[in-house]
Structure 1
Amino acid sequence: MGNKLKGKDLIKLGFPKNNSINIALGQISRYRKREKKERILEEAKEVLKTPEKFQGNAIWGKVAEGLVKPVEVKMHQLRNTRVPFSIYGENEIDEQAKFQLYDALKLPIAVQGALMPDAHYGYGLPIGGVLATDNAVIPYGVGVDIGCRMCLTIYPISISFLKGKVHQFENILKNHTKFGMRETHDKKQDHEIFYRDEFIEIPLVKRLKDKAFKQLGTSGGGNHFVEFGTVSITEENNEFGLKIGEYIGVLSHSGSRGLGANIAKHYTYLATKQCPLPKNVQHLAWLDLNTHDGQEYWLAMNLAGDYAKACHDNIHDRIAKELGAKPIAKIENHHNFAWKEMVNDRECIVHRKGATPAKNGELGIIPGSMTASGFIVRGLGNKESLQSASHGAGRKFSRKKCKEKFTKSDIKHQLNMNNITLIGGGIDEAPMAYKDIKKVMANQQELVEVQGTFTPKIVRMDK
């Protein structure tokens, strides 16, 4: 008997000559190739005998599914008509982003859609796109940075303290925040998330655990940031029990780092194999939630979202320790995620790719830019928007355009005009790259109610 397990070995066991053999060989090659052939064949025999016992199993679940109820792989065509949708601030949104949404609205699984006023072109769904689907999840409808989110902590510290000790606050950000692919904290901290079953039971996630541990409490590159700024509470009846006035705040924006990116890449690949679509919409390939891969992605996605929250908690804990103060309020929300929600009395999967959840009474943060104030908002539960709002100001110029159009001097001028200290940050994140946040907010008054503002003062980004 040769050491390498082959299809004919499985046929000898009695496996049907269909795709279940390819699935088994793929799973074994990916996750069990260092183990003895005899042992694997013994397990394979058990799977063949009672496949229903192995459904949901990390390694053999997909093989069992292939034996009991194989995933039907067929070319899907778009419908001729779109499902209902709403667009907010239509005149401010580029045509490419609208056409991306229009394509998504014709998917056989689509139920309802919406486009937020900060929307712009992306991969799969546009950034600022919201899509409700029937029992299916689109990995690119969630996005590569699963669980990318905002977190604001508010401190009972006088604003004059911030003005008088800029260098001290700069040093806190320089020493206690880490960005991009290379930087990690010297002193690593443990977290309960690393003891979750998913890190044991999902093979892909298990392999990513060390990376996730190293990157805990760090932020990504691009538009991710940690900022000190001024929080102005403008509503007495706010949800977090703060009096009208000004406070020091820390605002962070980042996601699930390498963990989320690898989960997105892996399951997007599986979706495109299981759900062939016309070339112009292939990034909208979905996973049926009744399948092994669909259920596994759902678990992995939720883990990545919780890991993103753990990263923000770690960042804010480190800064609170340096400030020697406890926050008196904390507001946070995802804006790259999928949720199970009721849409017109039926449970759907609601994808928000660059959109803030805005159920009635739900709090969120919509940032501006490094020189423009962001907004603390309370959702109004608008059903036409699928209870969503914008996730920021939205890009006016692409990263490439920014590098062609702006210089470091242009950015410096804007920072000086607004009295902002910037640590790191590239030309592609110039304040001028973004739309006017005030216009964006004006276009979503029926979606959210403003409770306060956050004005950046000291901004830290990737170099």
Structure 2
Amino acid sequence: MITGKELIQWGFKPGKWFPGAIADAQRMESEGRSEDEIFACLQSLMPVEMMPRTNALPFSIFLEPENDVERENLGLVVKAMDALLRTPTVASGVVMPDACPAGTIPVGGVVATKNAIHPGFHSADICCSMAVTVFKRNDDPKKILDTAFDITHFGPGGRKDHRGWDMSKELTAKFKSNWLLSDIVHIGNSNMGTQGDGNHFLFVGHLRSTGQPAIVTHHGSRGPGAMLYKRGMALAKKHTAIVSPKTPTGAAWIEADSDDGRKYWEALQVIREWTKENHFRIHDRIQAALGNQIVDRFWNEHNFVFRRDDGLYYHAKGATPSFAGFSPDDDGRTLIPMNMSEPILITGHADNKAALGFSPHGAGRNMSRTQYLRDVIGSRQFDDVLKAETKGLDVRFWMGTPDLSELPGAYKSARQVVSQIEKHGLATIKDFVDPYGSIMAGDWEKSMPWRNKK
């Protein structure tokens, strides 16, 4: 009986594929196949190891720093992209004006890959996205914000009582038909109608062009997306450990044209549908409570994987698509927020080829939350900081305790980001949603001290 020792003598290299190769060899031997036939068959099965590049591919940078803090931030972003563009599947990359370092791929980074989906490049917050609904009647914005505060739900976890918020029957059926999602229907239900923590928000304002009131929400796929990401990373690590063991685990990938790759791609589209349904279920509840007519709405993701006509997979980690047909429901408009005190941009596509057809997803950060609280907020009085930063806007924190790391000063200059969008032709600005106020989760660790182990 053929053993692993014999296969090594034949010149085959041991690895995670080896137990299967031994079993195949023994099966073929039992079928009466010759050693030459077995050898030829195993050669076709042996994975070809893909080595990381020695040098990174060149990439475009649209971030133009104006001070030392921004220059330091850019240096960290470039360092991360340089490591990323050594990954053997990567074909090209770009850095947006709002870029900042955040693990494997910087926020504001876009990476195109060949036949590869990298879960680590879209992260756990799959399909983080923006959605706007415009109302006909000019209701009091305070009334709109009061209504929204009562209806939505922020923070970790889902609704304990999610009756009336369950997923639609069509979406439930799609969850059940994909093995990566079939056992998390209950999470899809409990998380429906909820928004996250951190920089996720519900914004109330007016269209500058018409004066009509509008609500804008910013969130991702919550618990269902986080579960899919976890499972996708497990598949990716298993595959990459065989075909490219020297690639860092954060850059692991699933072969797109494999069975796992096809199912993961399908699951991503289902999670996208969940996120869209979640945005507009919240909007619809607010509309019903107000009794106001909806005259316009649209949405777009800015943290997702897009497949273009060139066959490449474009991983946008905090970057807004700016090319026609980026999604089945693309109507030529996208939303780019800045911070709670600045207007939200309504933009049209520009499809700058040097930018891989993307634009920024917001204002981004120049420093971590901890550094901002330590070096910028410091010992300043809380009320003074909040008043200065929010400029009289109606800003609310759903959990009661404000999160100072989400104040406008924690973000890059909106003026600077907008000027770079216009200078480089990353998008065309069509309109603005001017702010009245917004709701954010707040500091949930302080609001729920039982979560803090200390």
By the TM > 0.5 criterion, same fold?
yes
Does the C-alpha gap of structure 1 residues 70 and 251 become closer, same or farther in structure 2, counting only changes over 3 Å?
farther
Give matches, 1:156-305, under 5 Å: 156-158=136-138, 161-162=139-140, 166=142, 168-182=143-157, 184=159, 186-192=162-168, 195=171, 197-233=173-209, 245-276=210-241, 281-305=248-272
> Alignment partner of 1:206: what SS?
coil
Residues 144-196 of structure 1: CA deviation (Å, up to 9, x unaligned) = 111110001111233xx436xx2x33421221010112452654234436545
> Alignment partner of 2:112: what SS?
strand
Aligned mate of 1:338, from 288, 305, 311: 305
Q: Unaligned regions of 5+ residues in structure 2, if any?
A: 1-16, 24-41, 325-330, 443-454
Distance 1:437 1:21 in 2: 60
Residues 32-85 of structure 1: CA deviation (Å, up to 9, x unaligned) = xxxxxxxxxxxxxxxxxxxxxxxxxxxxxxxxxxx9x969384x4321343342
C-alpha contact 1:228 1:250 (8 A) present in aligned 2: yes
Scaled by the length of structure 1, the TM-score of the pair is: 0.77
Does the C-alpha gap of structure 1 residues 392 and 17 become closer, same or farther in structure 2, counting only changes over 3 Å?
closer
Aligned mate of 1:94, from 69, 74, 81: 74
1:439 and 2:416 matched: yes
Per mean C-alpha deviation after superposition, the further-off stretch among 328-337 and 84-93 is 84-93
Q: 2:393 matched to which residue of 1?
A: 419
> Alignment partner of 1:421: what SS?
strand
Distance 2:226 2:246 in 1: 23
Does the C-alpha gap of structure 1 residues 423 and 21 become closer, same or farther in structure 2, counting only changes over 3 Å?
farther
Measured after TM superposition, the shift of residue 98 of structure 1 is 1.5
Distance 2:63 2:358 in 1: 14
Residues 415-456 of structure 1: CA deviation (Å, up to 9, x unaligned) = 552433323341221221101112111112211111111222
Scaled by the length of structure 2, the TM-score of the pair is: 0.78
C-alpha contact 1:141 1:352 (8 A) present in aligned 2: yes
C-alpha contact 2:302 2:317 (8 A) present in aligned 1: yes
Report the residue type matching 1:87 in the other structure: I
> Alignment partner of 1:99: what SS?
helix
Q: Unaligned regions of 5+ residues in structure 1, if any?
A: 1-15, 23-66, 234-244
C-alpha contact 1:396 1:435 (8 A) present in aligned 2: yes
Aligned mate of 2:340, from 370, 394, 398: 370
Per mean C-alpha deviation after superposition, the further-off stretch among 259-268 and 78-87 is 78-87
Q: 2:51 matched to which residue of 1?
A: 77
Aligned residues: 386
Residues 117-154 of structure 1: CA deviation (Å, up to 9, x unaligned) = 00000122111111111111110112211111000111
Q: 1:359 matched to which residue of 2?
A: 323
Aligned mate of 2:289, from 322, 333, 338: 322
Q: Percentage identity across aligned positions? A: 28
Distance 1:104 1:210 in 2: 36
> Alignment partner of 1:250: what SS?
strand
Report the residue type matching 1:373 in the other structure: P
Does the C-alpha gap of structure 1 residues 341 and 186 become closer, same or farther in structure 2, counting only changes over 3 Å?
closer
Distance 1:251 1:127 in 2: 21
Measured after TM superposition, the shift of residue 97 of structure 1 is 1.2
Per mean C-alpha deviation after superposition, the further-off stretch among 182-191 and 315-324 is 182-191
C-alpha contact 2:63 2:99 (8 A) present in aligned 1: no
Distance 2:55 2:207 in 1: 46
Q: 1:152 matched to which residue of 2?
A: 132
Runs of 4 or more above 6 Å deviation? none
1:308 and 2:288 matched: no
Measured after TM superposition, the shift of residue 204 of structure 1 is 3.7
Residues 348-400 of structure 1: CA deviation (Å, up to 9, x unaligned) = 11111100010158311110111122211001111111110000000123121
Report the residue type matching 1:270 in the other structure: L
C-alpha root-mean-square deviation of aligned residues, in Å?
2.8
Per mean C-alpha deviation after superposition, the further-off stretch among 113-122 and 420-429 is 420-429
Measured after TM superposition, the shift of residue 87 of structure 1 is 1.0
Per mean C-alpha deviation after superposition, the further-off stretch among 315-324 and 192-201 is 192-201
